[in-house]
Amino acid sequence: MAERPQRLIVEGGPSEMKITHQKCREIQAPIVSSLIYGFAREIGYEKAIEIAKNIIGEDAVASGKKSAQAYSGNTIAELSKIVKEVWAKDNALTLEMLKENETMLFFDVTHCEYAQMYEKMSIKDIGFFLSCNRDFSFMKGFNPQIELRRTKTIMEGAECCDFRFSLLG
């Protein structure tokens, strides 16, 4: 398999543009969903989703590594900052914090703008793969010693998403 090219990252100068995590997903979604649905027509829905999940997972691992570097650490404390400052920025998520200490970060998401956005785009059926499913792979890159347990998501029709991060060992 050919190695993926490095991404071009433009920083600094007058052309630098900072966008929220949700806005990034909003920009990506039409292109990515068109590719997934196009591939599904050619090779079948299950196979297209499987391939997309793998590629999106690889990207999420890389994102986890970059986030640990950007936040100068990969503990529960830095993860909490990422959840609040990146994932939930500009009220993209409404968080109900349940437990937060050096070994656990437990919270529920009671409102999800990502799910609303995918629904408005008529692609909520793949929204889970575009966003929610990334969380597990993100943790592999951020810190594989922090386990994520989640049994339900708003994207899949539940009333909330139950995030339970625990430091292993």
| Per-residue pLDDT tens digits of the chain, which is 169 residues long | 444 444 433 333 344 457 888 999 999 999 999 999 999 999 999 999 999 999 999 999 999 999 999 999 999 999 999 999 999 999 999 999 999 999 999 999 999 999 999 999 999 999 999 999 999 999 999 999 999 999 999 999 999 999 999 999 8
In-domain check, residue 3: no
In-domain check, residue 89: yes
State the pTM of this model: 0.85
The number of folded domains in the chain is 1
Residue 106's domain comprises: 21-167
In-domain check, residue 13: no
In-domain check, residue 15: no
Beta bridge partners of 108: 96, 162
In-domain check, residue 134: yes
For the chain, the maximum distance between any two Cα atoms, rounded to a whole number of angstroms, is: 48
Beta bridge partners of 147: 166
CATH (domain of 94): 3.30.1380.20
Please give the structure tokens belonging to residue 101.
């200490």
Q: Which helix (H) or strand (E) holds 101?
A: none
In-domain check, residue 2: no
3-state DSSP call for residue 143?
A: coil
Tell me which residue of 120, 116, 121, 113 sits closest to 32, measured CA to CA. 121
